[in-house]
Structure 1
């Protein structure tokens, strides 16, 4: 009986070591693009960030396929989003109260499904200090020690308690509906 306990304990320890080692740590690389797109009474607009975001991920890979994502977090400084028009940027930063809330945060809550090239997931998106769960379909590609994600999620200003920006004494109004698109690459940290 004692040898059976030792055998089971040894088997359990081997399984734990294998399982822990199967999870890999990743960090967000410099190959990143986040784009917020919207409309206004004057023209459509984009604000783009290609630097400054940080992030981590813990995932289990099997060749070119993601088997599991245990955690994923991203922090994006709002000031890195630029439209190419400083007056528009200033209005957007004021609307999002960047002095109090300088970052946009995303934290994975649940992976609903993983296929060979897509993930359906739910995560907590925090904008202007207000958090909401969002669902999205994300394409992915695994190559060597990197994982590239590409996707988009529709949101509105008002679900994050942000008033859509206005200009020129309210004659130019921003639409309430937005789209956040991303193309990011996580590199192995192990």
Structure 2
């Protein structure tokens, strides 16, 4: 069939076909991302999937789909599978070295997934990380949870935000005892001034 086409069209056909295949791959990747996003939203509405976990799932699925689309596009452009496999194994080797070099970072990422899945705490909850027993430690209102840190807004004795925040590594919440208060009400014990706390301790 190609021989039956005019010469000028045959020359352009060698360009149009790969470009068309690349466009189809990109369109398929875009549609797949929208499908995954809709599926995750449906899981959140019907199965009670936490918002933070849904965000992580959207980012991971988008990354995987984009990576697969790039590989398909390179294959359509004539990059051999051997070259792609060699590059992949090279990146995998570098990733293995980086895995051991960045163990603490990966540990925080894994703990972030556990926080989302086990619902250790949520946004707007008040949490306190106890050092040992009842000894007070870090405390505040949860205002952000990302893959590395959980951000706590410090609360002063007058029940107003002090303006400073604590960025606590996610792994710390699994190394200490965590006290949690649900809702938006400041824990009563946090409202006492240091002097009041000292007087309470002396009265005991």
Structure with the larger helix share: 2
Tell me if both proteins adopt one fold, taking TM over 0.5 as the criterion. no
- The higher-RCO structure (CA 8 Å, 6+ apart) is 1
Structure with the larger strand share: 1
Q: Highest CA radius of gyration, 1 or 2?
A: 2
TM-score under structure 2 length normalisation: 0.31
